[in-house]
Amino acid sequence: MVCMGNICRSPTAEVVLRDKAKSRGIELIVDSVGTENYHIGDPPDARSIHHARRRGYDLTALRARQISAQDFTEFDVILAADAVNLHAITLRCPVEHQSKLGLFLGTEPLPDPYYGEAADFEKVLDLVEKRVDFLLASWWC
């Protein structure tokens, strides 16, 4: 899961995917990263933590990191929050791994709640939960 700073969208998607997969008995290795380096080592945004916690998700153990060359070989699927981040990882990704890249929501961007209000964080959670349910159903029919 990839967003710009790895403090809002991607950590939310990471934890929701991991928790929902686990509850279905599916073992996945899930991680999240940012395309930029300005939050490395920071916990997720406090608002992301707060809104996720209200739905039973715990983001507190996560720390932001920037995508690395190893991620392109280590992971089978790499999903970006929006076209800007997809473009950034496409430029860094070796040609032989580019088929792993895509947008998290398929064709639409996952909106960035960082400059928004509480409702924006709730909307991200709604979209992430819905998409994770779809992905898990399509990957494990």
Active site residues: 3, 9, 112
The amino acid present at 16, given as its one-letter code, is V
Q: Is 65 exposed, middle or buried (0-12, 13-18, 19+ CB in 10 A)?
A: middle
DSSP letters spanning 67-104: --HHHHHH-S-EEESSHHHHHHHHHHS-GGGGGGEEET
The C-alpha angle with vertex 29 and arms to 23 and 34, in degrees rounded to 5, equals: 115
Residue with tokens 């996720």: 52
Cα gap 1→9, rounded to integer Å: 8
The dihedral over CA atoms of 13, 68, 47, 24, expressed in degrees to the nearest 10, equals 20
